Structure 1
Amino acid sequence: MSTSFGLHAALPLYLHASLSVQLVVIVALSTFLVTALHLSRPDGLHDAESQVASLPCLSVLALVPFFRRRFDFFNWAFAITRQPMFRFKLLNNSVYIVSGEENRKAFFSHRSLDLTEGFALLSGAIPMVPGITSALQAQRVALIHKRLALVQRESYLKHLIPLLLVDIQQFLVKRYSASGTADPFESIYELVFQTTLRALTCEEIADDEHTATRLRILYAKLDENTTPLTVVAPWIPSPSMIRKLLATREIYWIIKRVIRSRREGGIAHHDTLQILLDHEDDDMLIVGFIMGLIVAGARATGTAASWLHVYMGQDPIWQEKVKLEVDDLLQKYAFVDTKDGRHDISEQLSSVPLHAWENDMPVMDMLIRETLRVAQPHTAMRKNTGGEFWLGDRKIPAGAYLMYPFSDVHLDPELYPDPWSFAPGRPQPEAPMSYVAWGAGKTICQGQRLAKMELKLIISMLVQTLRWRTTDASGNVLPEAPRPDWNDTVSCRPPEKSVYTSYNRR
């Protein structure tokens, strides 16, 4: 049974209440603070029934690294248990962490392991509104997946590509002067947030710089205030939880007002919101679709784009190889011929057909693949929604939560020699499910077509517009690429103010 109840379950009513009522609710609930998390007592290193290693010395303090330094926590736990699987408790929920090839194949393929249920408890990344972004029935989740497929149809992507290219070009004109220095984990993420709004929301939001900026700030607040307590005990009105609720409320109403205005205006547009309205989806589904996918789109794609920009700046040969690849596409397909091509580059790139973007860019495909391998600190999350089953020779009980860290495969030196090295041309391992950046088995990333397209458009525009090097804060070129921090589960960025890009316009 999920532990998300109380204040969290009453969130829809809370969102619709006046500010004064909300403050009264917060004050009232604060008198009922839960001051301790009821974790299970340590029960030895091995459970006699399931033979799954159990972490010793469990306490609230011992589990803080699970949220704050997850990569280190996993490595420590596997080292002390010396097993391919270990378990611990979050409140009354059993959590199993798995590793190894056989467990990986079973994890991604077992029919009882549900992604949505697992993500709801263990992540805390998405703004949780019961019935809108959480506590969704399987039929509702399937409908969201169906709508996401609609916005990735060939006809819609053909319409979307020119709009994305204009957004990218306008951003580069505004944010990048003739030469200068930029923080790629700020500037490139900001760009990806804009392209995500363009792709997954509506014209009213994507065209309004103030609204777009406000949403980016609000989603940053959700990240900043995601703490161990807000994840495992979201009903406790801690300061961080209250800030998350207020940010969620504002995001909710920004989207809700746009939906209401569009319905009342009666003017059809050509965007994702219109697709949802044309299929007569209710407001709850539309709000949930947009709120949730902004997170999935902007965070994952933003991280990939930022790191790809960094890697290409550390070894500029990749900039030139990608530019040659883009130049070949332009020579083959572009119909625009002006004396100053830089100002019309978005129009030129818009003439490249969708099939060429998707199938005729092997260098870009290699770069994206390697970036996702080494700089995406994901952990797959599932819940066993069926009966107990055996994972190898270990029993998984009904209702248990399972996690699989991508580092187990993507940073395995036996599969990827010198795994921290960015080597796009490296041979690909032949082992089953040895690359899981887009998911595997029965769960594949539903938005990968759009994500790949965004990455290719952004990098193509960058190489046509800029030359850049990856530097330190003083402008010195870094002798080697920085190492992604996998403990940062959002963007795996290196220490603050340690990595920049120095650029010049072409």
Structure 2
Amino acid sequence: MVSLVATLASPRDWPASALLLAATLVISLLVRLLRRPGLPSGASFTEWGVPFIGSLNFFTKRGDFLREGTKRSPNGYFNFYYGSYPIVALSGEKARSAYFNTRGLDLSAGFRKLFSAGPDIDHMLGCNMSAYFIVLFKKLTGKEHLATCLPYLNKDACDTFSATDTSVPMDPFVVLYDLLYKFTHRTVGCHDVAEDPALQEKTMRLYEKLDKTAAIQVMFPWLPTPTKLNKLWAGAKLHMLFGDIIRERRKSGRKAEDVMQYLMDKGESDLLSSAFIIGALFAGLINTGVQSAWILCYLAYDPIWYAKVRAEVDAAVEKYRTSDDQTPVEVLAGLSLEAWESEFPCIDFGVRDSIRLNLMGASIRQNTSGKDIVLGDTGVVVPNQAFAVYHVSDIHMDEAIYKDPLKWDPGRYFPERGEDKKRQHGYIGWGTGLHPCLGMRVSMRSDDERSKKLTG
């Protein structure tokens, strides 16, 4: 062993074949790092960044990087590289409209490669997971499924808030995130996790590992970085955990009224079932938990809107109360899905503006069409396999559209003001064009449920 270490530490003593192999590997690595696909004209300049890694600020200071690049560009468009990935940054109404209405720009591929750096498992599942996910998720946001989930959501909300100590300040970013995690399992996951605190804690910690991505992992996804290995291990443990629940149900004959059972009854493989649940939960947790907490913070800070929301909830309680003995919580628990979706415009618009203020990231798409794509009449070309990004603040923080854009103001969405209707795709918090948010209905109902139970 000592002689082996000594030999490795002294390249001069290596055999010629070993030196040749090492040199070949180094050269191959350098070529791979240096290779950058070309970007066509259309954008006014290209930000080359640092050799090998490109524009690191796209990862560390994404908002500032995109805003500064847009200001430097005479036409509002510019190119840059992130690792070897070529990216076109867009801004303005024409580019926004073309971006959200052009087929061939893939949301899931863009997210997977430039945000989550997740693996492509289609070959393991035997299907196109993105297409499968969209079809099934649309079904799960339908009226019938959500109506089935309502009793569980009501019970979880009541249990959580009944156990909350109101004599001390509550941290909504903890309490509501935990509740949202239960809600998400109720609607697109597994009741076993929602009903078992130990499983909740265990799976939430695994999801936290899945959510962590290092810059180098995105730039060079083929490198076995510690972050990548931790994510792969966390994903594998989630698959095993959900697989164990599936096998236990199958063996015991136990059934549940949840999505896991739906997939089992449908005859899907254990791997496909767990992959869908993991993806659906991840999609639901990214933004909704944060927005749920912010809406309560805004209401606590703004007595005028708090009074309006409270009056709205009180009016609904009065309208749907069937006896004088019913408590407000009991009345709310008995509301139909239609009532939840129609009786609370102040809360709905409050959630809408909370998303506008706090969703400050970039929308990312990859051109998977097999050919170059010209974005409308902008003159911008997104090459095949290249990426396009649009910074959300370009529209959500536009003072020409939103009066006092840094202020939380649900009233800006009421018909008499309609600030979000001043431009095409003037509000993109729930997606827009060819890319609407599939989980909007689920997220809205979850946010409404929490807000109304707290103000009722």
Give the TM bin, normalised by the shorter chain.
0.7 to 0.9
Match of 2:368 among 372, 385, 390: 385
> Residue deviations 1:202-239, cap 9 Å, x none?
2211111100111111212233x311012222332222
Q: Is the 8 A contact 2:70 2:78 kept in 1?
A: yes
Match of 2:408 among 419, 422, 425: 422
Match of 2:106 among 108, 114, 125: 114
1:444 aligns with 2:436: yes
Inter-partner Cα distance in structure 1 for 2:334 and 2:321: 5
SS in 1 for 2:352: helix
What amino acid is aligned across from residue 394 of structure 2 in structure 1? D
What amino acid is aligned across from residue 359 of structure 2 in structure 1? Q
Q: TM-score, normalised by structure 1?
A: 0.77
User: After TM superposition, which residue ranges in structure 1, 4 or more long, deviate above 3 angstroms?
Assistant: 31-37, 39-43, 47-52, 56-62, 134-138, 334-339
SS in 1 for 2:256: coil
Query: What residue number does 2:293 align with?
Result: 306
1:229 aligns with 2:228: no
SS in 1 for 2:407: coil
Inter-partner Cα distance in structure 2 for 1:50 and 1:263: 57
Q: Is the 8 A contact 1:334 1:351 kept in 2?
A: no
SS in 1 for 2:72: helix
Aligned residues with identical type, % of pairs: 29
Query: What residue number does 1:214 align with?
Result: 202
Q: Is the 8 A contact 1:42 1:55 kept in 2?
A: no
Query: What residue number does 2:17 align with?
Result: none
What amino acid is aligned across from residue 351 of structure 2 in structure 1? I
Inter-partner Cα distance in structure 2 for 1:390 and 1:261: 52
1:54 aligns with 2:42: no
* Greater CA drift, 290-299 or 265-274: 265-274
What amino acid is aligned across from residue 352 of structure 1 in structure 2? L
Inter-partner Cα distance in structure 2 for 1:86 and 1:94: 11
Query: What residue number does 1:149 align with?
Result: 138
Inter-partner Cα distance in structure 2 for 1:195 and 1:113: 31
**Cα distance change on mapping 1:390 and 1:135 into 2, 3 Å:** farther
Match of 1:361 among 327, 344, 363: 344
SS in 2 for 1:382: strand
Q: How far apart are residue 415 of structure 1 and its match?
A: 1.1
Q: How far apart are residue 377 of structure 1 and its match?
A: 2.3
What amino acid is aligned across from residue 141 of structure 1 in structure 2? S
Q: How far apart are residue 59 of structure 1 and its match?
A: 4.0
**Cα distance change on mapping 1:77 and 1:40 into 2, 3 Å:** farther
Q: How far apart are residue 334 of structure 1 and its match?
A: 3.3
Query: What residue number does 2:356 align with?
Result: 373
**Cα distance change on mapping 1:70 and 1:60 into 2, 3 Å:** farther
Inter-partner Cα distance in structure 1 for 2:385 and 2:54: 23
Inter-partner Cα distance in structure 2 for 1:48 and 1:88: 12
SS in 2 for 1:402: strand
SS in 2 for 1:38: helix
Over aligned residue pairs, what C-alpha RMSD do you find?
A: 2.7
Q: Is the 8 A contact 1:410 1:419 kept in 2?
A: yes
Spell out the pairing of 1:484-495 with structure 2 (5 A cutoff): none
Query: What residue number does 2:18 align with?
Result: none
Q: Is the 8 A contact 1:87 1:97 kept in 2?
A: yes
Query: What residue number does 1:258 align with?
Result: 245
Q: Is the 8 A contact 2:349 2:411 kept in 1?
A: yes
Q: How far apart are residue 187 of structure 1 and its match?
A: 2.5
Inter-partner Cα distance in structure 2 for 1:36 and 1:162: 58
> Residue deviations 1:301-349, cap 9 Å, x none?
112111111111111332222122122222222346548x37xx2x331
> Residue deviations 1:371-415, cap 9 Å, x none?
111111242211112211322112222121111121111111111
Q: Which blocks of at least 5 consecutive residues in structure 1 are unaligned?
A: 1-30, 465-506
Inter-partner Cα distance in structure 2 for 1:401 and 1:95: 5
1:186 aligns with 2:174: yes
Q: Is the 8 A contact 2:44 2:78 kept in 1?
A: yes
Q: How far apart are residue 60 of structure 1 and its match?
A: 5.8
Q: Is the 8 A contact 1:53 1:81 kept in 2?
A: yes
Q: Is the 8 A contact 1:329 1:352 kept in 2?
A: no
> Residue deviations 1:430-470, cap 9 Å, x none?
21111111111111111111111101001111112xxxxxx
Query: What residue number does 1:166 align with?
Result: 155
Inter-partner Cα distance in structure 2 for 1:146 and 1:131: 16
Inter-partner Cα distance in structure 2 for 1:348 and 1:407: 40
Q: Is the 8 A contact 1:114 1:385 kept in 2?
A: yes
Inter-partner Cα distance in structure 1 for 2:407 and 2:341: 26
Inter-partner Cα distance in structure 2 for 1:136 and 1:97: 34
Query: What residue number does 1:77 align with?
Result: 69
Query: What residue number does 1:401 align with?
Result: 387
Q: Is the 8 A contact 2:101 2:433 kept in 1?
A: yes
SS in 2 for 1:122: helix
Query: What residue number does 2:122 align with?
Result: 131
Q: How far apart are residue 71 of structure 1 and its match?
A: 0.8
What amino acid is aligned across from residue 360 of structure 2 in structure 1? P
Q: How far apart are residue 98 of structure 1 and its match?
A: 0.8
Q: Is the 8 A contact 1:304 1:375 kept in 2?
A: yes
Whichever of the two has the greater Rg, that structure is 2
Q: Which blocks of at least 5 consecutive residues in structure 2 are unaligned?
A: 1-24
Query: What residue number does 2:5 align with?
Result: none
Q: How far apart are residue 41 of structure 1 and its match?
A: 7.7
Q: How far apart are residue 137 of structure 1 and its match?
A: 5.3
Inter-partner Cα distance in structure 2 for 1:171 and 1:308: 18
SS in 2 for 1:83: coil
